[in-house]
């Protein structure tokens, strides 16, 4: 019998708004669910759709400060726009809107439930679409992120004595998660992202490898703009995959942001569903209990395609290359011209690609020199 899988979802994921001009659109959650529904992926024999419920405050306090949570709750219930820049709240990046605290708690609750299903009920994988808020810090909102669901869920796993790999394939460095576990060897954090040299959040150099007991357990692979499918797969195959296998965690936790795609308006990488799907397949092949969350993505149809592809791979379902007719009609009315569900492999322009190749090879060499002896030597 096939292993049980869970998709964590709530219609309330799409019930709030960061504002009309803000790049983050909550409608992407509804579109992703609608595409899955159109393809029959919400009615699978071994795949269960689970309603998200808000996280408990005691779970939030495993990472966030009480003062920050109180301020976020206070602002969330205010009828007037509020701001407190000490906490990163109320600026253009992290607006305060009615219900923001409850919405953020719902996202965290989905990730906590995904973690519980994998560790307590034996699910092979659980995927929370509305997770992946990897920029939130202990007492500060950042990068559209108010509460850090990954850190909160991993803290629950650590209390159970689990060893965890956190893999982040979002275009932005997972700085909040790295910061939380920078001095421990119980969590191996791996982030493959666009270089922070001239890009938010400005962190994620391959030189950031952890401190104290955690030295070697923070791994960063910054990618130069125009990194394409082949180079992205090379980065994963030569760094992430062997490190995950050598560390051999009890739980694999992945942030599956879709802002790496070549048509994303905020990023400069050039990947497609080709390499995204390749990575998800390799992760499934590891057969490690798996918690997955969403993340970035600022072209809504890209997000829907990426997460539908991820969910289909988790369940061993092959997808057609074209989007279903009914879904195409839905997105046409929203102004999206997309026809294809799956992309052909993409190659960047030669000069751009050569610069990206030189950069990724230098980063891989640095990681192999500084990190591999610690992880592969210690766990091989």
Please choose, from the candidates 222, 297, 286, the residue with its C-alpha nearest in 3D space to the C-alpha of residue 249.
Answer: 286
pLDDT digits (tens, 9 = 90+) for 195-231: 999 999 999 999 999 999 999 999 999 999 999 999 9
User: What CATH number labels 5-379?
Assistant: 3.40.800.20
> What are the structural domain ranges in the chain?
5-379
Q: What is the DSSP letter of 272?
A: -
- DSSP, res 138: T
pLDDT single digits (tens) 62-99: 999 999 999 999 999 988 888 999 999 999 999 999 99
pLDDT-derived band at 380, boundaries 50, 70, 90:
very low
Is residue 273 within a helix (H) or strand (E), and if so which, with residue range?
helix 273-285
Identified catalytic residue from 135, 137, 173, 193: 135
pLDDT, tens only, 316-330: 999 999 999 999 999
Structure tokens at 311: 């969910």
Q: Which residue has the tokens 């669910």?
A: 33
- Long-range CB contact pairs, 195-203, < 8 A, 24+: 195/222, 195/223, 195/224, 195/225, 195/359, 196/222, 197/222, 199/172, 199/267, 199/268, 200/143, 200/172, 201/135, 201/142, 201/143, 201/172, 201/173, 201/175, 203/173, 203/175, 203/178
Q: Does the annotation mark 135 as catalytic?
A: yes
Q: Closest Cα to residue 175, out of 137, 207, 124, 126?
A: 137
pLDDT digits (tens, 9 = 90+) for 109-142: 999 999 999 999 999 999 999 999 999 999 999 9
Q: Are 38 and 324 in contact (CB under 8 A)?
A: yes
Strands 290-293, 125-128: pairing is: parallel
Beta-bridge partner residues of 194: 223
Contact 47, 37 (CB under 8 A): no
Say if residue 53's pLDDT is above 60.
yes
């Amino acid at each position: 019998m096939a292993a049980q899988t869970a998709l964590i979802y709530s219609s309330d994921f799409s019930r709030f708004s960061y504002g009309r001009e803000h790049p983050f659109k909550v409608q992407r959650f509804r579109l992703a669910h609608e595409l899955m529904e159109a393809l029959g992926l919400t009615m699978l024999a071994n795949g269960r759709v689970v309603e998200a419920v808000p996280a408990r405050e005691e779970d939030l306090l495993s990472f966030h400060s009480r003062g920050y949570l109180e301020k976020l709750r206070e602002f969330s219930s205010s009828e007037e726009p509020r701001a407190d820049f000490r906490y990163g709240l109320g600026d253009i990046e992290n607006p305060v809107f009615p219900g923001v605290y409850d919405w953020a708690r719902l996202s965290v609750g989905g990730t906590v439930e995904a973690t519980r299903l994998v560790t307590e009920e034996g699910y092979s994988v659980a995927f929370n679409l509305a997770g992946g808020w990897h920029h939130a810090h202990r007492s500060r909102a950042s990068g559209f992120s108010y509460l850090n669901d990954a850190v909160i869920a991993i803290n629950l796993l650590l209390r159970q004595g689990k060893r965890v790999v956190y893999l982040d394939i979002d275009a932005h460095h997972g700085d909040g998660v790295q910061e939380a576990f920078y001095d421990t060897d119980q969590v191996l954090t791996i982030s493959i992202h666009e270089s922070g040299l001239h890009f938010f959040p400005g962190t994620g150099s391959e030189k950031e490898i952890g401190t104290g007991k955690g030295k070697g357990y923070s791994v960063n692979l910054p990618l130069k703009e125009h990194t394409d499918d082949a180079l992205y797969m090379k980065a994963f195959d030569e760094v992430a995959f062997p490190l995950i296998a050598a560390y051999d965690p009890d739980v694999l936790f992945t942030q599956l942001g879709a802002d790496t795609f070549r048509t994303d308006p905020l990023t400069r990488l050039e990947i497609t569903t080709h390499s995204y799907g390749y990575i998800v397949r390799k992760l499934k092949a590891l057969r490690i209990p798996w918690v997955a969350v969403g993340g970035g993505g600022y072209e809504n149809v890209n997000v829907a395609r990426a997460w539908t592809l991820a969910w289909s791979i988790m369940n061993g379902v092959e997808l057609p290359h074209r989007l279903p007719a009914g879904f195409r009609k839905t997105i046409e009315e929203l102004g999206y011209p997309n026809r294809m569900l799956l992309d052909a492999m993409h190659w960047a322009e030669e000069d751009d690609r050569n610069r990206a190749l030189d950069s990724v090879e230098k980063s891989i060499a640095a990681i192999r020199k500084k990190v591999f002896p610690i992880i592969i030597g210690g766990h091989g």
